Structure formats: C-alpha cells, structure tokens
Amino acid sequence: MSFKLITVTGKAEVSSVVYKVGECMQELIKLWKEYEASQAEKNSESSSSGPTLEIRIPAEHVTATNRQVRGGQLWGTDIYTDDSDLVAVLMHTGYCRPTASPPPPAIQELRATIQVLPRQDCYISTLRNNVRSRAWGAAIGCSYRVERCCIVKKGGGSIDLEPCLTHTSTVEPTLAPVAVERTMTTRAAASNALRQQRFVREVTIQYNLCNEPWIKYSISIVADKGLKKPLYTSARLKKGEVLYLETHSCRYELCFSGEKMAKAIQQSSHAQNHEAEAEKLQNHHSHSANGECENIVVDVFRWSRCKKPLPQKVMRSVGIPLPHEHVEVLEENLEWEDVQWSQTGVWVAGKEYILARVHFLSMI
C-alpha cells in the first residue's frame, strides 16, 4: 500500500493508504503502536478507540470475484482483526453488495474511514449480507471497524453509503452471491470442440437453518440414479440414511419406518387380451372376475416436521431418525409412490412443500 498523511486544518493528521489485493494493512499496526507509545509517554492508558485511517479502494477491486472475498479473509463481526480484507468487511457490513459485477464505470473508487482499535479477547463469526465472517481467538496486533464509506465519482463529487448491519439471509446461496447461477465446462468438453457448448451446473451450497453447509435443493439430488436399485433414494433410506429437507423456515425429515402387508390383484393369463383389458379400464374400481387377491410386503416411510432445527452434531447425539419428542409426525405408513418430487419441491400425500435445501444424514 502506498502511504501518505493528509493534514486537515484544525484537525489531527489523518493517514491515507491505497488498497491492494492480498496485502495486510500494516499501517493499522504501525498507527496503533505509535498511538500506544504516545499514550505511554503521557502515562495514560490506551483508550478503547484509536487513530483513524482513510483507505482508498479502486473500483475494480470492489467485486465478489476479489480473491480475498472468495477466500473469506475476514475475522470478526463489526470489529475485525487487522488482517481482515477491507472489501470483504465492507460487503459483510452491507456498504456494498457481494456481486460478481464490478461497479459502474462512473465510479472511480470507494473511500472507507476506519478506526484502529485494541485487539479483542475473541472475534465472533456471523452470516450477514450473504458473506460469512470467521471466528478467531485474541489477535496479536490490533483491530478495526468501519466508521464511514463513500463512493467517489470520476467526474468529481462523492456519495455516502449506509451500512446494513442486521440483514442475515437464509434464502440466497452464501457461496454463490451472483444473481444467476454460473456454468462451467467440464475438462472433457474443453478437449473436444464439438462439446464445448455443453455445460453442467455447479453444485450450489447454501447455509441451513443452523448455519451449516447443505446442498441447494435440486430434483437431481433426490431422483433415482440409473438402473441400480441400491442407488435409489428409497433404497438408501431403507439402509439407514435419513433425508432432511428445508424450506426457508422449516426442516422436515423423511425416513424408512418399516414394512406393511398390502393386497395386490393378480390377473389370470386370459385377462391379457384386449377385450379383458378394456373391461378392466371401464371397471377399474371393482376386481376382475378372474382376478386373485395376493398379500405382498411393501416398504413404508414417515414424513415429519422437526420441531426445532438442530445442528448435525446434536442430531447424531440424540439419534437419527430423530426421536418422537423432537418431531411432529405429519404422515405415517407412506408408500414410496406417495412421495412425488418436482423441480421446486416435494408432494407428500397430496400436499406440496417448496424446498430450499437437502441433506442425507446417517448415524455412521
């Protein structure tokens, strides 16, 4: 970072630096040490606040594609460690949105005024404005918080920005802040010019109602894959896996609950001709005169609403599927045909649930 001092008439000197991607703001530590030394000379304790620093951020760096933002290089909430990236902090505090698009061409830079603070006992992690900060123990240097941020236009003039410190989204993908899902070509496609137009969607991760990473709901996650029955979703549930699904506000559990006897109509051989088949369609509510009743065993499943979303560690400790005191059973003895998947969610016993996230879990 380049460094200079700006002297404002009637005010203390304000340090100004230019932001560079991937460089720690050493000026913060330098200013804090100078401040502590000046307080020591005065035989007074350092106060809870310190000097201020103006940081100028070129517009091209204010984007979610900034590698420091993508890498989540920020620790704390409201007060951050001295090595936290300022662009990531501005997005976390809501001064600017975490989008892949750069600011409009008319914007020259952002100017942020930060206050240097003492190191904290701990720094907490939060999900805010689709950016997750990290937690950390006590820092060895100092901390900072953003006091002010403004846009500087190329033609002159500035616009003050307001923070958004309360917004926490559980709807939009945290690791994919772009409004439209990105696409990518596979390595095989890249090697063949005829395949280069074939794209596959990236898996999108969302944070669930307990702020844990789950997969964004897609019918491909729960649809039966291929012709191998062990890969069927129903077979996975029968083997002990449990499927947890979330809307934007509730969590649901789908699990195997046992077997039951059911009656099946078995047609005699001469019922396969067209005349008998037509008669069967016309009288589909009654049994064929030549039909025979046979008892068969079918798998049944349970659909429940979780009374409270629990972290996965807690869920495994109480047991999976969850005990009855943790769920409200909505449907019992469901046959697999009673569960119908769609592009947006699932129909269970005729009722639709619009889904956001999905996760398989087992005790193993």
Local confidence pLDDT in tens for the 364 residues of the chain: 443 433 333 344 567 889 888 776 677 888 888 888 888 887 766 566 788 889 999 999 998 888 888 888 899 999 999 989 999 999 999 998 888 777 888 899 999 999 999 988 889 988 888 888 998 887 678 899 999 999 999 888 888 998 887 655 443 333 333 334 444 444 544 455 444 444 444 458 889 999 999 999 988 888 766 567 777 888 889 888 999 999 999 999 999 999 888 766 444 444 444 444 444 444 444 444 444 556 788 899 999 999 999 999 999 999 999 999 999 999 999 998 889 888 889 999 889 999 999 999 987 6
Same domain for 147 and 31:
yes
Judgement on whether residues 211 and 118 belong to the same structural domain of the protein: no
Distance CA 214, CA 334 (A): 26
Six-digit token string for 89: 């902090």
Say how many C-beta atoms besides its own lie within 10 A of residue 80's C-beta. Answer: 28
Closest by CA to 68, choosing from 131, 128, 124, 17, is: 131
Q: Flag whether 199 is in a domain.
A: no
What does the alpha-carbon distance between residue 112 and residue 62 come to, in Å, rounded to a whole number? 12
Q: Kindly tell me the sign of the dihedral angle through the C-alpha atoms of 67, 72, 76, 81.
A: negative
What residues form DSSP beta bridges with 339?
A: 348
Q: Which two tokens stand for residue 140?
A: 């060895």
Quick one: 209 and 347 in the same domain? yes
Q: Please tell me whether residues 151 and 7 are part of one structural domain.
A: yes
State the Cα angle at 343 between 339 and 347, rounded to 5°. 25
Task: Assess whether the previous peptide bond of 321 is cis (omega < 30° from 0).
Answer: yes
Contacts of residue 75, defined as CB under 8 A and 6 or more positions apart, other chains included, come to: 81, 83, 84, 123, 125, 133, 134, 135, 136
- Segments forming the whole domain that contains residue 332: 205-263+298-361
CA distance 84 to 144: 9
Enumerate residues 6+ apart whose C-beta is below 8 A from 172. Answer: 130, 206
Q: Is residue 9 part of a domain?
A: yes
Overall pTM > 0.85: no
Question: How far, in Å, are 50, 216, 301 from residue 354 at the CA level?
Answer: 50, 12, 20
Does residue 21 belong to any structural domain of this protein? yes
Beta carbons of 93 and 74 less than 8 angstroms apart: no
Give yes or no for a contact between 17 and 52, defined as CB atoms under 8 angstroms apart: no
Under a CB-based contact definition with an 8 Å cutoff, are residues 202 and 208 in contact? no
- Give dist(CA 79, CA 123) in Å, integer: 8
Q: Looking at 160, 193, 217, which one is the last position of a domain?
A: 160
Residue 27 lies in a domain: yes
Q: Give the span between the Cα atoms of 57 and 108, in whole angstroms.
A: 9
